[in-house]
Structure 1
């Protein structure tokens, strides 16, 4: 169960469903989600839902939103829908929302697992400390001392810390780390040629990319601040090209476009629309370096699997995802980020090889789907 779902995205839930099909599972897999697509700046497209169903073998059920507060929602008839399906296991994505109220009722017949994907940089609510105390007081004891939630998966070390903070004990926590699907994300040499030809990038050009959302949380405009400082460090930057791809929030784009106008006379810059998740490997493969200037993102793993060194803020979650921690900069220190960019170029770290793939191979989702299936069968690893 996922509150918000985009069939064209590359989030963990998408990849787990793809991995389930890859493993030739005979399970009946059903995704229950809402008809709210506002986080993706788009509307529900039934054609894309059907295509995803055909590709993965999973069925999508979309429910109306009954109540919404901030990003947390209550879906109409959610648990009645689940009960009618009579499942063996229910995976509720996320924790700390209205669905936790079900803990106050009797244990359902099916196994329930949840996950935690909260990172400290995303935990900004001013009432969060009060919330932590309330969750620990009301819900944590039920979780720890009953089987109403069989397991809660931590998607990383920060998520583990968060679960401990809200009172979840170790015997209830297991890891299901952010990762990738090797049938969808991999270095694609033909795709590299196609995309670089599409944008008229030459063989020697060094393409610096951002592939993700354009909004006030991810702030891809900060890349201009980094690159502007880099230009003062680099005498010859004619080979540097910037590529931005992703869905755009209209209000945010005013800020982005102001910086774009100031920079476009200095460098070749291409800003393109979002692409299908299944095509993203071609764009990562065509890139040489990726910069994600704010917070954290699963895209950092995808970029590295396709051979790109990644520059990001120095957070705990990024320390475990970015293979070379020397490429992490102090948040807000764009001069340091510019120095890292120069180092990567001077030392030719952007030359494609398998170093990142080797380091991240244990995160492949095909290996992780087995853990979920074992829980459904009453086995734990």
Structure 2
């Protein structure tokens, strides 16, 4: 079977749903292509031909990068997209995301191949000033075509908030199915040998409690809030428990200069802070394994599942998407209630909930991505 994935932006070293699906699908004998753009601006890096080739070798997927014909905000039109798909003659085309220029295909005759789409958008990420106009436009133009035809076979919601988002766009529930965020058990697991090696390299003692943020450094994710959460805790407690901070990920320069570095310089006077660059997704289990607790202070993050699979309790804001992704819901704090987050952190430490032997990850078993690939193949 020939399968084509279409994703507007793609970083071969990242750990998004598209990356994990492609990794999980490599053992099923399909001929798989990924069509994407040459625009890497969302990842704050340049395109690497070497990284693409390495991903192709590991997964057997052929990456095809097209030029951006038109771009407004983050939505783009890929030059020659439909012609490229037609040449590949696929049976299944998975267009990731919805509510973008790819929906124009609904206004054209039905294609010979099956098309599925998915939705990554939740209410927390959709509160812009033009949303009401956009919802009305989509309900009137595209939703009726989706509901009355089979031009889109299925639209997958990656969570409950995404499901709500789709229904509010006017899409019938019979066209929606779940393909929840998950993980690949061959990539994400607790790695004890990596924990020992990395903690030695970073200079952490085994008795240190390492609190990590692993992700993007920008105004949306706000890793600097980790400093505020720790700063609310009594200094004597921090010293007694040997608390250390570890930050890993790609950095947006303006955010670093305007916010993060100021707080970093202040915090370094009180506690040991280690800052490192972004790491390939396939290596991240080592850093989660080396960590004891992970904090994702704003919005939602797929990394929360990966951290927990590697044995780290996570602390996050209380959103529906996070409720779906957390083992212990007591570790969620009300939005902007940083004192509550600090109390949660102290409780996790006092009760030794951070010990790897105290973390049960079986809750996520049904989210393993090989199960997702099997579900996709059943469409045919």
**What is the TM-score of this pair, normalised by structure 2?**
0.97
Matched-pair contact (CA < 8 Å) for 1:238–1:267: no
Listed one character per residue, the Cα deviations across residues 25-71 of structure 1 (whole Å, up to 9, x for unaligned) are 11100000000000111111001100100000000000001111111
Matched, 1:104 2:104: no
Q: Deviations over 1:195-214 (max 9, x none)?
A: 10110100110000000000
Query: 1:353 offset after TM fit, Å?
Result: 2.8
Q: Alpha-carbon deviation of 1:126?
A: 0.5
What secondary structure is seen at the aligned counterpart in 1 of 2:31?
A: coil
Name which of 292, 295, 300 aligns with 2:299: 295
The runs of at least 4 aligned residues of structure 1 exceeding 3 Å deviation read 235-238
* Counterpart selection for 1:163 from 144, 166, 190: 166
> After the TM superposition, which residues 205-244 of structure 1 pair with which residues of structure 2 at under 5 Å, given as runs?
205-231=208-234, 234=237, 236-237=239-240, 239-244=242-247
CA 214–237 in structure 1, closer or farther in 2 if over 3 Å, else same: farther
In structure 1, the partner of 2:87 is 84
Would you say 1:53 and 2:56 are equivalent positions?
yes
Q: Distance in 2 between matches of 1:125 and 1:96?
A: 14
Given the alignment, which residue of 123, 128, 139 partners 1:125? 128
Give the conservation status (yes or no) of the 8 Å contact 1:233–1:342.
Answer: no
Superposed CA offset, 1:178-211 (max 9, x none): 0000000000000100110110100110000000
SS of the aligned residue for 2:356 comes to: coil
Q: Distance in 2 between matches of 1:235 and 1:8?
A: 35
- Map of 2:348 onto structure 1: 344
In the TM superposition, residue 20 of structure 1 has moved relative to its aligned partner by: 0.5
**Structure 2: distance between partners of 1:119 and 1:237:** 40
Matched, 1:321 2:321: no
**Counterpart position of 2:313:** 309
In the TM superposition, what is the alpha-carbon distance from 1:170 to its structure 2 partner? 1.3
Tell me, in whole angstroms, the C-alpha distance in 1 between the residues paired with 2:216 and 2:306.
15
Aligned to 2:275: 271
Is residue 217–residue 255 contact of structure 2 (8 Å, CA) maintained in 1?
Answer: yes
Which structure 1 segments of 5+ residues have no match? Answer: none
Contact 2:217 2:223 in 1 (8 A): yes
Assess if the C-alpha contact under 8 Å between 1:92 and 1:113 holds in 2.
yes
Contact 2:353 2:359 in 1 (8 A): no
1:237 CA displacement: 4.1
Q: Contact 2:223 / 2:296 at 8 angstroms: preserved in 1? A: yes
Compared CA separation, residues 179 and 2, structure 1 to 2 (3 A): same
Do the aligned residues in 2 keep the contact of 1:210 with 1:291 (CA within 8 Å)?
yes
- Structure 2, unaligned runs of 5 or more: 1-5
Alpha-carbon spacing, 1:271–1:105, altered in 2? closer, same or farther (3 Å): same
Aligned-partner Cα distance in 2 for 1:195–1:90: 41
Question: Equivalent residue for 1:253?
Answer: 256
Distance of 1:84 and 1:353 partners within structure 2: 52
Provide the residue aligned with 1:373 in structure 2.
377
Tell me, what secondary structure is at the counterpart of 1:353?
helix
Structure-2 separation of matches of 1:232 and 1:284:
25
Aligned to 1:19: 24
Measured on the aligned residues, the alpha-carbon RMSD in Å equals 1.1
The Cα offsets for residues 217-239 of structure 1, whole Å up to 9 and x where unpaired, read as 10100111111002358364450
Counterpart residue number, 1:10:
15
Question: Tell me, what secondary structure is at the counterpart of 1:230?
Answer: coil
1:63 alignment counterpart: 66
In the alignment, is the contact (CA less than 8 A) between 1:116 and 1:153 conserved in 2? Answer: yes
